[in-house]
Structure 1
Amino acid sequence: MGAAQSSTDEFVREPLGVQERITADGSSPWPVEPHRYRLIGARACPWANRVIIVRRLLGLEPVLSLGIAGPLHDDRSWRFHLDPGGVDPVLGIEWLREAYERAIPGYDKGVTVPAVVEIPTGKVVTNAYQDLEFDLATQWTAHHRPGAPDLFPAAHRDEIAEISGQLFHDVNNGVYKCGFAKAQGPYEQAYDALFARLDALSERLAGQRYLVGDTITEADVRFWVTLVRFDAAYHGHFKCNQSTLTDMPVLWSYARDLFQTPGFGDTIDFEQIKQHYYGVHTEINPTGIVPKGPDPSGWLSPHGREELGGRPFGDGTPPGPPPIAERVPSIAEPR
């Protein structure tokens, strides 16, 4: 997504501008159809990362292509500056805003990722990331890979929704409320809520491997995308500095467990994450200097969470390797 602007001292996230659905049941004007749509994400963005992970876990790569915006953008929006010629190779656009304006002439809301674009028309269909995650899991089932996990098991949906709501307010959006607060009071309120929630979730995860039930669900995807960025960006850049993730033993081992699970760590590029946060948010980091650290190699260290049991993919199986064109550099490789 993108950072919102607010006339108050408290950070308020912008509303989504194209809240459509892609469904198989005829409940929307946009039907599930292989090769019709292109998911646009960014390695830097946690909101996009969630949808990219869900797509990986469900094995939708062959039917829903992926375009990656680079980590740098300005007021014209996310751009494809890492692609040859600086344009998306399928949509042929330089700026993601172009796809929003094709859908809504004069579009004046946030140009955010993730976004799904209809390839033939080049129009954004939706940027409703939470609905998109749910619909990929429940509407695209005819195109799931064999062994795809159930990320929204019916027996646990109410619990997933409750925890996901807490995560959104206090953690996913909470770090942004810390980073973009314009006064001490709102910053401290968000800071206290963030670390109180992290403490509560640490207690929950001390005795169980995953947040809900004994398998990976959307709640874990939602939590993890913030944890994996915590030390690289939020601790310093957003002033979330009560402690680093590596100083929170349960959450650090939980995060490493998922990082080493196919579909999670293989979507992460720490360099792009740092380039985005430190290079784009000039009101917070006016020099644009990107920190060299922290050393990411610890993400590959043993986590010991297997002792808690759990079945990562339930009755399913891990996804295979990502397509070659979508692979990110391993943290074990020199950059």
Structure 2
Amino acid sequence: MSVTPLAAHTSAQPAPAFRGRIGSDARSGHYAVPGRYRLHLSTACPDGLRIAVIHSLLGLDTVCPATFLPAVPDTPEGGHCALRPLYEASAHHYTGPAVAPVLSDDWSGRIVSTHVPDIMRDLARRFGGDRPSPYPCGAESEIEAVERMCAQGIEDAAQRAGSAGGEESERAAALETLLETLGALERWLVGRTYMIRDEITAADVELWVALVQLDTVHRNHLDAGAVQRIAGHPTLWAYARRLAAHPAFGAHLDLDGIARRHHARCQGLEAAGAAVQILDWAAHASDGNGTVAQVNRD
């Protein structure tokens, strides 16, 4: 089955989104066969980190192998040379950036999907096996609510709060949105181990990755007072630290890669908050053998 991009690429647009899905039988075109599909990820990228954690929670190393890419893209347009053949095989006369993450079909040499929510859900639904599903029955609306909260209340708000080009009033309003979101999450997590169930779900993956980005990327553009207010949510950060010690999470935490990717992409000014680390992530990240993970994808 051929997959066409949803939008044509121009120099002013991001790479097109491929939205193929893995189905349950041969009629779907892309149907679930162990070993047929491959992930291409950079765990320095938040989307790549989300997928890598889900992949590890499900134990899919042999069922759907993952190829890990360098933290910093290696082409002038911001893509990866290794992905260029997949993009050129999947979109006629494609000239845009060959970006990750990608789910590809080894049988055809083409891209199935670049849409992160679809990829994570298809991995869980088609290859999850006997492992607890990160998308348990009846939890989809709760997971989607956490996804929106993380995207808008944490990641977007933190980005706007640290924007060098924004008005001071706009930055202050964004910081208040961020703090309100963190406060709501702090209150919700009191007495809980995980976000919405008694076991890890995709909601925990979303929140954990958002907190990693907040402390390793966004705080670099906030003032020290703002970072100290962000740090003032002990239940939330204890939760983040606890998940970092889980092998499916901590083994993929490429702190050096995140820093290099950020410095390669960021054009904003560093602020005093860069010196105020909230968590010592490296001290808590486990590789699954009780030791600190040393991730180097390059």
Q: What SS does the corresponding residue of 2:66 show, helix, strand or coil?
A: strand
CA shift, 1:228, in A, is 1.9
Matched, 1:273 2:238: no
Q: Please tell me the residue identity of whatever aligns with 1:163.
A: V
Match of 1:329 among 286, 290, 294: 294
Q: Is the deviation greater in 44-53 or in 68-77?
A: 68-77
- Equivalent residue for 1:200? 184
Counterparts of 2:149 and 2:54 in 1: how far apart (Å)? 20
Deviations 1:18-47, CA, capped at 9 Å, x for gaps: 122122245743112222221011121111
3-state SS of the aligned residue for 1:278? helix
Q: Residue 117 and residue 269 in structure 1: after superposition, are their counterparts in 2 closer, same or farther (change >3 A)?
A: same
After TM superposition, give the deviation of residue 196 of structure 1 in Å.
Answer: 1.5
Conserved 8 A contact 1:18-1:127: yes
Deviations 1:164-217 (A, max 9, x none): 222222224443444567432654443332221111111111221211022211
State the identity %. Answer: 25
Take 1:52 and 1:25, find their aligned partners in 2: how far apart are those partners?
A: 25
Measure, in 2, the Cα distance between the counterparts of 1:296 and 1:207. 21
Q: Does 2:146 correspond to 1:163?
A: yes
1:217-242 Cα shifts (integer Å, max 9, x gaps): 10000010121232221101477972
Task: Identify which range, 213-222 or 106-115, moves more after superposition.
Answer: 106-115
Deviation at 1:111, TM superposition (A): 4.4
Quote how far apart the aligned CAs of 1:280 are. 2.4
- TM-score (normalizing by structure 1): 0.71
Matched, 1:225 2:209: yes
Conserved? CA contact 1:191–1:240, under 8 Å? no
Task: Provide the residue aligned with 2:226 in structure 1.
Answer: 242
Equivalent residues in 2 for 1:1-335 (5 A)? Answer: 17-25=17-25, 28-73=28-73, 75-79=76-80, 94-107=81-94, 111-141=98-128, 144=129, 146=130, 148-178=131-161, 182-184=165-167, 187-237=171-221, 242-243=226-227, 246-281=231-266, 283-284=267-268, 294=277, 297=280, 300=283, 329=294
Letter paired with 2:214: F
Compared with structure 1, are the counterparts of its residues 237 and 277 closer, same or farther at alpha carbon in structure 2 (3 Å cutoff)?
Answer: farther
Detail structure 1 runs of 4+ shifted over 6 Å in the superposition: 238-241
Give the TM-score of the pair, scaled to structure 2.
Answer: 0.79
- How many angstroms apart in 2 are the aligned matches of 1:180 and 1:127? 28
Q: Once the 2 structures are TM-superposed, how far is the Cα of residue 15 of structure 1 from its aligned partner?
A: 8.1
Mapped contact 2:161–2:172 kept (Cα < 8 A): yes
SS in 2 for 1:39: strand
Structure 1 unaligned runs (5+)? 8-12, 80-93, 303-318, 322-326
| Native 8 Å contact 1:268 1:328 kept in 2 | yes
How far apart are the structure 1 equivalents of 2:93 and 2:269? 31
Q: Per the alignment, do residues 64 and 285 of structure 1 end up closer, same or farther by CA in structure 2, a change over 3 Å counting? A: farther
1:128 is aligned with what amino acid?
Answer: H
Question: 2-side partners of 1:279 and 1:61: how far apart?
Answer: 30
* Preserved CA contact (<8 Å) 2:38 2:66: yes
Give the stretch that moved more between structures: 225-234 or 43-52.
225-234
Task: Report the number of matched residues.
Answer: 278
Equivalent residue letter for 1:24: S
Match for 1:55: what amino acid? H
Indicate the SS of the match to 2:104. Answer: strand
CA distance, structure 2, for counterparts of residue 130 and residue 215 of structure 1: 20
Q: Which residue of 1 aligns with 2:5?
A: none
Q: Any conservation in 2 of the 1:174–1:191 contact (CA below 8 Å)? A: yes
User: Structure 2 stretches of 5 or more lacking a match?
Assistant: 1-9
**Root-mean-square deviation (Å):** 3.5
For the 8 Å contact 2:134–2:200, the answer to whether it is kept is yes
Q: Distance in 2 between matches of 1:243 and 1:293?
A: 7
**Cα distance in structure 1, aligned partners of 2:14 and 2:158:** 15
Distance 1:173 1:127, change over 3 A: farther
Which residue does the alignment assign to 1:91? none
